[in-house]
Amino acid sequence: MSVIGGSIESVSINKRLFAVAADADANIDRGGKTAEYQANGNGTGRKILTTKPWMVDGISLEINPDNDDLAFLEGVAASPDDVPITVTMADGNTYQGTGSVTGDVKASTQSATAPITLSGPGTLTLQ
């Protein structure tokens, strides 16, 4: 079976569905643990596992001013609560997690999109 890459189809943030710009090349880190080795003086080593959040960056969401999408995303970012998030891939697979919009939320008036980063605790899981 072939592996399918391509545009992210859509993103749902707190049950609001957003189209994603087709030319956005997103990066997905499912979270969990990151591993590194630290050396001991006698030549042995220690494996250090550090918990890390999940993250999706490099996506550009369509921003519709009639829906007040920009204010919605800013509200999610400013809220102390995590919300449900899903990311549907070109091959139809959907990842789910809870988290938030992180970093600055800025909309482009020319392209009617906003580049955003999503992040949250735990791991993104395949539905």
Check whether 86 has a pLDDT greater than 70: yes
pTM (predicted TM-score): 0.90
- In 3D space, the residue among 59, 34, 57 whose CA is nearest the CA of residue 47 turns out to be 34
* Average predicted confidence (pLDDT) for the chain: 95
Burial class (CB in 10 A: 0-12, 13-18, 19+), 10: middle
Kindly calculate the radius of gyration of the chain based on its CA atoms and give it in whole angstroms. Answer: 17
Q: Is the separation of the CB atoms in 13 and 79 below 8 Å?
A: no
Whether 3 is in a domain gets the answer: no
Whether 4 is in a domain gets the answer: no
Rounded Cα distance between 21 and 8, Å, is: 8
Q: Which positions ≥6 away from 111 have C-beta within 8 Å? A: 21, 60
Q: Provide the residue range defining the domain that includes 111.
A: 10-126
Whether 2 is in a domain gets the answer: no
Check whether 92 has a pLDDT greater than 70: yes
Distances (CA, A) of 77 to 57, 118, 119: 15, 9, 10
Q: Is the separation of the CB atoms in 86 and 56 below 8 Å?
A: no
CATH of the domain at 52: 2.40.30
Whether 117 is in a domain gets the answer: yes
Whether 120 is in a domain gets the answer: yes
Q: pLDDT by residue (tens digit) across 11-35?
A: 999 999 999 999 989 999 999 999 9
Query: For the chain, what is the domain count?
Result: 1
